[in-house]
Chain A
Amino acid sequence: MAQVLLKDLNKKYDEVHAVKDVNLHIRDKEFIVLVGPSGCGKSTTLRMVAGLEEITAGEIAIGDRVVNDLPPKDRDIAMVFQNYALYPHMTVYDNMAFGLKMRKFPKAEIQKRVQDAAEILGIQDLLKRKPRQLSGGQRQRVAVGRAIVRHPQVFLFDEPLSNLDAKLRVQMRVELKRLHDRLETTAIYVTHDQVEAMTLGDRVVVMKDGWIQQVGEPLELYTKPSNRFVAGFIGSPAMNFVDVGIQGSDSSLTAQGTGIRLAIPPVNASQLGPYKGQRVTLGIRPEDLHIAAGGDQAGYVFDAVVDVVEPLGSEILLDVKAGPNSLVARVEPTVRLKVHDGVRLAVNPDRLHFFDMTSEKAI
């Protein structure tokens, strides 16, 4: 158990600057998730922590030790690989025992630890099998087992669930979370799946193009995205973005887009004041849109035409058009609307997001 500190971490391959000035303080016992689109540098960051990738610049400390120059085996970490990387010629037992054998643990201790881990993961009956006699989910468990028998200070996971089918992925996600609650070992988890990130992480680090975009608890990322990228990346279906101009007097600002006009709620008014006469990006989450009813204030409604109806059972996703803007609204399953129907939608005025057009930062 230990904290992990990344200080001004950089990684350059010949032509690619894969990780840029990453600063991150991962607390003891924390489950932290690195998330971002493919190629954003998540794996590279993780592999630098593991010692599998040389550090171009910066510093990594695990516990109180700077580990920059330590080989992987001396860093007291364990890693679960995306394709599991189980030794194909060894039994499940030997796969899990290998790390302990290499570290010269006494036989009895090895046996005890492997048994314990197998029990936790429910793979006691598989110990004599070879990896290729296992299903994907079972291999996954063995790979996790191999990591936990070592009782390392930090667990590293690189997209460990991405080779599983959707149902198994959800199940393993829950199990990993339970496992972390039980073992309380610091964990760094890499994924490109924002749902996985939100459900697993104590805190989530959103990355793009090698930069950290935002670090925060899942809800914080959802409610207060610090820029347009995070806003669009977190949440499903993704946030709607509308290009608007800020108009009006200081006391009653409006956001005027083509085919859509909304009053600016008092909570946002002070920050948006300086943007008067300029264009900004308005962000509305699909769940913050609903069919207008009597109670909605006049300034917060607009008219649209239904483009596509996607009934999901528990809810309906309405793809609508307001002028040239396409928006998605998440509405009650009881709503009865057809394609080309006109619909009046209302926004939730407390939950509007505004982003600077050039810096894309949240206003």
Chain B
Amino acid sequence: MKKPIAGGTNGAVVVALPHPGTRRARGLTRFLESERLLASLLLAPTVVLLGTFIAYPFVSGVWLSLSDTSVGNVGHFVGLKNFAKAWDDSIFQQAFRNTFFYTFWATIFKLALGMWLALLLNRSFRGKRLVRASMLLPFIIPTVLSTFAWRWMFDPTFSVLNWLLFRTGFIVNKIPFLSDGVYGMWCAIVVNTWRGMPFFAITLLAGLQTINPDLHEAASLDGANGWQRFWHVTWPLLKPVTLVVVVFSIIQTFSDFQLIYVLTGGGPANATHLLATYAYQVGVATGLLGEGAAISLFMLPVLFVVVWVQLRYLRRLEGA
């Protein structure tokens, strides 16, 4: 009797036999195919990076604010004492008010002027590209450098602005740009606006370019004049982009440091301090690290609210 044709069966058996090494490869495959494990593996570097560079400094900052650490002195836990002290400090109160004032007006100006610029640049004209590119200059020049230039323009003795205004007959007395607290604050707002406006303009311009020009034509046929077209068509469609830039700007302006540090150093007589510059003065210049940390942490709840409002609004837009 003939054996059953074994070729096929044999072949199958051979295939089924474990090759040396297959087992380990299979284990690896199975591991890689398990989504949860693979995901953790791939996420691990990010988590480590975030942990090292964001979470650690943050936590240690919070710890500092709850301690009486100062330069050369390992601190002890003191609870909310630093916060309470700051709250009663009149310079802190001034800096706190200044920060809101500065952020509020600088953001308003940046938005208004940035929008205006974006609308202008959205038209077609000769040399459009050059103008668009050069508009970014204030944005790309290092803040310290440009602020120095501004400081020179506002200089009590050498101010070119005073000279110009005086010569053209607009003023009789020199304006005490940086030697008066109120003027100083407004000068800082001007410089911040000058610096931050290009970012608004470019972002809003990008937003404008996503709006179908037919909509404007339709609106002008519908009888809307230029202002109405802006208000009823451009603005509503630009709102999401606007919100994002405004929030970015609020966050940056609220925690601004460089500009004040270079322009006024917080003076005269601490009149132009922002939370960040005052925190620096107390924490680093004076060396009271704990108190400095507490002052800067006052920014956190404010920024948190801003971000929360933005997220909520964006979610509502997506849902609508």
Contact = CB atoms under 8 A, between A and B. Distances in A.
Q: Do A and B come from one complex?
A: yes
Interface of A: 50-52, 71-73, 77-79, 81, 83, 85, 87-89, 98-99, 102-103, 130, 146, 150
A73 B220 contact: yes
State the main secondary structure of chain B at its contact with A. Answer: helix
B217 A102 contact: no
Interface residues of B, number: 18
A85 B224 contact: no
A89 B236 contact: yes
B220 A81 contact: no
Contacts, number: 56
Nearest to B217: A52
A73 B214 contact: no
Contacts of B320: 130
A319 B212 CA distance: 45
21 contacts: A50-B221, A52-B220, A72-B220, A73-B220, A79-B218, A79-B221, A81-B217, A81-B218, A87-B215, A87-B218, A87-B219, A89-B237, A99-B221, A99-B222, A99-B223, A102-B222, A102-B224, A102-B228, A103-B223, A130-B320, A150-B222
Given A50-B221, A77-B221, A85 B215 contact: yes
Given A85-B212, A98-B232, A73 B237 contact: no
Interface string B297-320: 000000000000000000000001
B237 A88 contact: yes
Interface in B209-244: 212, 214-215, 217-225, 228, 232-233, 236-237
Contacts of A78: 221
A255 B221 CA distance: 55
Contact of A71 (B220, B228, B232, B237): B220
A320 B139 CA distance: 70
B214 A72 contact: no
B121 to A, nearest CB: 21
Q: List the 5 shortest-distance A-B pairs measured between CB atoms, nearest first.
A: A99-B222, A85-B214, A102-B223, A73-B223, A85-B218
Nearest to B320: A130
A52 B225 CA distance: 14
Contacts of A103: 223
A73 B236 contact: no
Nearest to A147: B221
Contacts of A98: 219, 222, 224, 232
Interface in B49-98: none
A229 B233 CA distance: 43
A72 B214 CA distance: 13
A87 B216 CA distance: 9
Given A79-B218, A89-B237, A98-B219, A73 B212 contact: no
Contacts of B236: 89
Contacts of B220: 52, 71-73
Given A73-B221, A89-B237, A146-B222, 4 more contacts: A73-B224, A81-B217, A99-B223, A102-B223
A146 B214 CA distance: 14
B42 to A, nearest CB: 35
B234 to A, nearest CB: 11
Nearest to B237: A89
Given A98-B232, A102-B228, A85 B222 contact: no
Nearest to A94: B232
A286 B62 CA distance: 87
